[in-house]
Amino acid sequence: MFNFAGKVLSLTAASLMTATAISSAQSMDELVAAAKAEGQLTTIALPHDWCGYGDVIAGFKAKYPEITINELNPDAGSSDEIEAIKANKDNKGPQAPDVIDVGLSYGPQAKTDGLIQPYKVSTWDTIPDSAKDPEGYWYGDYYGVLAFQVNKDLVPNPPQDWADLLKDEYKNAVALAGDPRASNQAIQGVYAAGLSKGAAAGKAAGEAGLEFFKELNAKGNFVPVIGKAATLAQGQTPILIRWDYNALADRDTLNGNPPVEVVVPKSGVVAGVYVQAISAFAPHPNAAKLWMEYLYSDEGQLGWLKGYCHPIRFNDLAKKGLVPQELLDKLPPVDAYETAVFPTLDDQGASKEAITKGWDSVVGANVQ
């Protein structure tokens, strides 16, 4: 952001735009120079087979070969990342992470605990407000939406919306990818079903979702089995409710045996978001900022999309025609994601409590 005051206000529109562009270019040049001077970036919990991260990291290295990437514990979880920051507050060595990629709930808590620092990337305005901290402490990076993963050999007419799952043709066919008393993915599936019924966000959607699955179970359509690629292929759970990026990856892995179709429902499209942040104690703060600039650039965002994770700027990229057709051809239709809802932390907390506590008494299906 630039505060053009005094005589700058008398510039013509054209010269003002030129001045802005030059200032931005100089700012980016300075950041690149400072990052190169630091010469290193320390990441943590970035497995190369997750969301296309292998290619994303390779892309950054190719663009800035002067900066070495030190990759800590690729298989760590969000809580491990937070603990790594805490444990290395006073350590500027190779075990101190510069940046983190964590589940949504960890961003606000890390801010409250003073573990991360603010930075707004140049594409900040194209990140949905509901998926970022207004002060720039954390910001959504990629997301998946709950979708229907369908075994086409057994279900030649895939459901297109949540209400379709109640049809008689889907007897003993519908499963969740987890136990809704414990699994976030399954909890969000129940929540999405509740939103599709027109319920308000939060507790109301959780309760409406329970009623939906009560009806689904009573009709004999719900299968109380934790679904995965193997159960889908074997026919035990021919319709599986799970994150689209997992479903799309399964489609590739199964390679037509059986054929898989991934359907984003017409309503109740719920997104699950991961967020980026820079450690408040980052040994290489400029390299960290440059990493964020790369991740939120068009190139970085498309890198995640190649790994089937929807970049947070997906709608912006799609509207500008910047998503290659070969990537779009591998995904559900673009407009299927336009209504994606990003639940707030309060909504998630309220719905989780309603679903986990009410599942046994309302639905009564022992998922295992």
**Over 70: is that where the pLDDT of 20 sits?**
no
With helix as H, strand as E and coil as C, how does the chain read? Answer: CCCCCHHHHHCCHHHHHHHHHHHHHHHHHHHHHHHHHHCEEEEECCCCCCCCHHHHHHHHHHHCCCCEEEEECCCCCHHHHHHHHHHCCCCCCCCCCCEEEEECCHHHHHHHCCCEECCCCCCHHHCCHHHECCCCCCEEEEEEEEEEEEECCCCCCCCCCHHHHHCHHHCCCEEECCCCCCCHHHHHHHHHHHHHCCCCCCHHHHHHHHHHHHHHHHCCCECCCCCCHHHHHHCCCCEEEEEHHHHHHHHHHHCCCCCEEEECCCCCCEEEEEEEEEECCCCCHHHHHHHHHHHCCHHHHHHHHHCCCEECCHHHHHHCCCCCHHHHCCCCCHHHHCCCECCCHHHHHHHHHHHHHHHHHHCCCCCC
User: What pLDDT sits at residue 336?
Assistant: 85
**pLDDT score, position 18:** 30
Percent of the chain clearing pLDDT 70 (strictly above): 93
Return the CATH superfamily for domain 31-140+274-328. Periplasmic binding protein-like II (3.40.190.10)
What pTM did the predictor assign? Answer: 0.71
Structure tokens at 114: 């003073």
Closest CA to 139 of 22, 255, 300: 300
Is the pLDDT at 22 greater than 60? The verdict is: no
Residue 196 and residue 119: Cα distance in Å, rounded? 36
**What are 176-216's pLDDT values in tens digits?**
998 988 887 898 999 999 999 999 999 999 999 999 999 99
* DSSP bridge pairs for 338: none
- Model pLDDT, residue 315: 87
- AA letter at 25: A
pLDDT in tens, 132-166: 999 999 999 998 899 999 999 999 999 999 999 99
Q: Across the chain, what does the average pLDDT equal?
A: 89
Q: Which residue has the higher pLDDT, 248 or 50?
A: 248
For the chain, the structural domain boundaries read 31-140+274-328, 152-270+340-362
Instruction: Judge whether 31-140+274-328 and 152-270+340-362 match in fold.
Output: yes
Does residue 5 have a pLDDT over 80? no
**What's the N-to-C CA distance of the chain in angstroms?**
52
Q: What's the pLDDT score for residue 1?
A: 24
pLDDT (tens digit per residue) in 65-113: 999 999 999 988 788 899 999 999 998 899 999 999 988 878 998 999 9
Q: Report the topology of domain 152-270+340-362.
A: D-Maltodextrin-Binding Protein; domain 2 (3.40.190)
